[in-house]
Amino acid sequence: CLGFLAHNWDPARMFMGDTGSMLLGMLLAATSITVMGGIDPYQLGENVQQLVNQTVTVHKLVPAYLPLIMPVSVTLLPIADMVMAVVRRTKAGMSPLAADKGHLHHRMLQIGHSKRRAVLIMYFWAALVAFVTVLFAVTPSRQPVVYLAIAMTLVGLLMLLGPRLGDHRERLRTKARVRRGGSAGSARHRARGAAPSVPSTPSAPRTGPAAPPAGPNPAPGTAIPAIAKAPDDADGAIRRGSLLR
């Protein structure tokens, strides 16, 4: 598993299909049963004689059931994912074996986690459940274990809901900026309305030759006014004078 993980870590160069995942699940179950079968649960109890007593408390029976509890606690995350997938697909009218994108890691990616962070968070939750179960079984004093479990659960929830909390914080900041911008704009509008209006001064008339009156273009063959022909006559006289010289 560790050798394959080096090639399957993001960015993955290999992909484990259904055959590999089923083989891995079978090996994990067989290993859990083999390892836990070699542990004498009676050696973990505080009082061996009380294990067979009918008045024994529940927490003292935990070591006796540890070979059953430990494998379930280690594989609790994939078991919960499988149960939710079967229920979800059955409600949707699909086959329980049909593929979809509603698994736990898909949902973690949808809320903003990266692939590596999603895998690490799932590792954290699996390790948390397994270690708390073992500590609760082998530790004489349960109170520190309970406090540790509560603290680590809060840490895990913060890690899991981090993107959602970040989005909520960003939305609050955006609303605050919009609210501040709206209040500043209304204040400027009120200040602009309260300012006295300055009367506009008439502009001074422009000096210079008056522009010719606008009118329609003369039709072909009509006489051009003398004012319009004056520049042409002056230019013609100058040219004729230069030729006579």
pLDDT at 234: 47
17 three-state secondary structure: coil
Instruction: Tell me the backbone φ, ψ of residue 156, rounded to 5 degrees.
Output: -65, -40
Per the listing, tokens 């309305």 go with 193
- Among 71-75, 120-124, 198-202, 241-245, the range with the most confident prediction by mean pLDDT is 120-124
Residue 178 pLDDT grade (very low, low, confident, very high; cuts 50, 70, 90): confident
Q: Is 60 exposed, middle or buried (0-12, 13-18, 19+ CB in 10 A)?
A: middle
Q: What's the residue count for the chain?
A: 245
